[in-house]
Amino acid sequence: MNKHKVSEESVLGIINCLKKNGIAIFPTDTVYGIGAVYNNPEGINRIFDIKHRDRSKPIIALISDIKYLGELVDLENENLENILEITGKYWPGELTVVFDRSKYNVAKDNTIGVRIPGNKILLEIIESCGGIVFTTSANISGEKSPAKIEDISYDILEKTDYILDGGPILNGVPSTVIKYSGGEISILREGNIKTEEILKLFMKKGRG
């Protein structure tokens, strides 16, 4: 099992693994994730297989900076004005925004979830790998999302190329997920960021 405590050397190790089209487990600011670089479709397929995840369920893109959003979403056909105030407040952080018209085939309905995580080490890893890493929680589908390495199925750990152990994540709660389509938002999942706060900010923006 290729498991390493967080250090300067192990951060370089996971970056090298991902850039060589491996898949890796790492701590985020919410739960432990398993991911591959955005231009590694074989690695993304391995993640679905390892997790026993339904192919109709998308994985999300973690980006290191909002400048990479245009690599994932058709910005010309998206009215971003109504969402930028929300991402400006909650990114980096625990909010995933699902957009229409993905440029990558990671969901049958062509949508894509995007988030900028708050974990500084993870941001460094993502930036070093081209600014985009596709990821999902490091659990068998249907099981609880892991807050520490010990929560992760041995089967997943054994089939992963690199494991970065950052210790227990105090949060352990998956991100809040909203969908942005046609200039409107809908709530898909509530996490630590309360949807009431998001809707209030969105309606305030709309009235302005």
- Identity of the amino acid at 79: N
**Count of domains for the chain:** 1
Which pLDDT band, with edges at 50, 70 and 90, does 170 fall under? Answer: confident
Which pLDDT band, with edges at 50, 70 and 90, does 207 fall under? Answer: very low
Distances (CA, A) of 166 to 26, 69, 154: 7, 27, 17
Alpha-carbon span 187 to 98, nearest angstrom: 10
The domain containing residue 111 runs over which residues? 3-207
CATH code of 49's domain: 3.90.870.10
DSSP 75: G
pLDDT tens digits, 30-86: 999 999 999 999 999 999 999 999 888 888 999 999 999 989 987 776 678 778 889
Neighbours of 182 (CB within 10 A): 9
Report the pLDDT value the prediction gives residue 206, as an integer from 0 to 100: 55
Does the reported pTM lie above 0.85? yes
Q: What is the number of alpha carbons within 13 Å of residue 164 lying toward its C-beta?
A: 29
Q: Which of 34-43, 100-109, 177-186 has the lowest mean pLDDT?
A: 100-109
pLDDT tens digits, 112-133: 899 999 999 999 999 999 999 9
Instruction: For residue 8, give the 3-state DSSP assignment.
Output: helix
Q: Which of 18-27, 74-83, 138-147, 155-164 has the lowest mean pLDDT?
A: 74-83
